[in-house]
């Protein structure tokens, strides 16, 4: 039995390598993003599993998942939602969890939190615009 030598044309081989590389880049770079730009307030980004702080307000990003939700106009949509845990220092302190989508505004105590962007699922992050509301 001898060695069988087969030759693969270089041109076809390179085409296969390039196609495989493009597929890998396309799949690897695909991070789900939901974004509704806002204005005003302080911009803050918080990675999933971390806590951000704005004055007496602490915001934890508990989870980011793809799910069905209903937007402010009452339209059923499918996209990314984030579970945020808000904690306001004070006497008594306040704590509440919210399931939010991009473009949603939540108000807790004297703070307005606008969800500008939700990026990724595992190891994702949330971009928020936070404003302190005037107390009357």
| For range 116-131, the mean pLDDT | 94
Which value, in Å, is the radius of gyration of the alpha carbons in the chain?
23
What SS3 state is found at 25? Answer: helix
* CA 107 to chain centroid: 20
d(CA 79, CA 68): 6
Determine if the pTM surpasses 0.85. no
pLDDT at 2: 53
* CA 121 to chain centroid: 7
What SS3 state is found at 18? Answer: helix
- CB-count exposure of residue 60 (10 Å: 0-12, 13-18, 19+): middle
pLDDT tens sequence across 52-72: 999 999 999 999 999 999 988
């Amino acid at each position: 039995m001898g060695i069988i030598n087969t030759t693969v044309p270089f041109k076809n081989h390179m085409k296969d390598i390039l196609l495989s590389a493009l597929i890998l880049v396309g799949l690897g770079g695909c991070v789900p993003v939901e974004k509704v730009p806002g204005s005003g307030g302080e911009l803050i980004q918080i990675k999933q599993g971390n806590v951000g702080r704005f004055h007496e307000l602490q915001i934890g990003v508990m989870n980011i998942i793809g799910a069905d939700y209903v937007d402010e106009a009452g339209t059923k949509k499918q996209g990314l939602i984030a579970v945020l845990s808000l904690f306001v220092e004070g006497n008594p302190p306040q704590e509440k969890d919210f399931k939010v989508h991009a473009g949603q505004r939540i108000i807790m105590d004297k703070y307005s939190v606008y969800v500008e962007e939700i990026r990724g699922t595992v190891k994702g992050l949330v971009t928020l615009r936070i404003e302190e509301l005037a107390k009357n």
